[in-house]
Amino acid sequence: MVNDVTLKNDWHVVAKSEDVTPGKVLSVRLLGEDLVVWRSGDQVLAWEDRCPHRGASFAQGWIKDDNLVCPYHGFAFNNSGNCVHVPAHPDWIPSTRSRACVQTFHVQERYGLVWVCLGTPQYELPAIPELDDPSYYKCFFGPIHYHSSAFRAIENFLDFNHIPFVHDGRLGESNHATIDDYKVKVNSDGIHVTDLSVWQLNHETGQGEYVSASYDIFRPLTVCLRVRSKVVDEIMTMFFTVTPVEEEKSIVWRWSCINYADKVPEDVFRNLAHIVFDQDVAIVESQRPRRIPLDLEANFHVPSDRSSITYRRWLKQQGVTFGTV
**54 contact choice in Co ion, ligand FES, none (CB below 5 to 8 Å, kind-dependent):** ligand FES
How many amino acids of this chain bind Co ion (CB under 5 A)? 1
Of residues 139 through 178, those in contact with Co ion by CB under 5 A are none
**280 contact choice in ligand FES, Co ion, none (CB below 5 to 8 Å, kind-dependent):** Co ion
- Minimum distance of ligand FES from residue 54's CB (angstroms): 4
Q: List the one residue out of 323, 139, 163, 132 whose CA is nearest residue 243.
A: 323
Q: What share of the chain is helix, strand, coil (3-state, %, to 5)?
A: 20, 40, 40
**101 contact choice in ligand FES, Co ion, none (CB below 5 to 8 Å, kind-dependent):** none
Q: Does 280 bind Co ion (CB under 5 A)?
A: yes
CB nearer to ligand FES: give 54 or 274.
Answer: 54
Q: Which stretches of the chain bind ligand FES, using CB under 6 A? A: 51, 53-54, 56, 70, 72-73, 75
H-helix segments, the chain: 5-8, 150-158, 163-166, 266-286, 306-318
Residue 24 phi, psi dihedral angles, 5° rounding: -110, 140
CB nearer to Co ion: give 36 or 198.
Answer: 198
In whole angstroms, give the CA distance from residue 87 to residue 76.
Answer: 9
CB nearer to ligand FES: give 103 or 212.
Answer: 103
- Minimum distance of Co ion from residue 153's CB (angstroms): 10
Look at the alpha carbons of 267, 269, 270, 271 in this order and tell me if their dihedral is positive or negative: positive
Work out the number of other CB atoms within 10 angstroms of the CB of residue 205. 9
- Minimum distance of ligand FES from residue 88's CB (angstroms): 9
Q: 87 in helix, strand or coil? A: coil
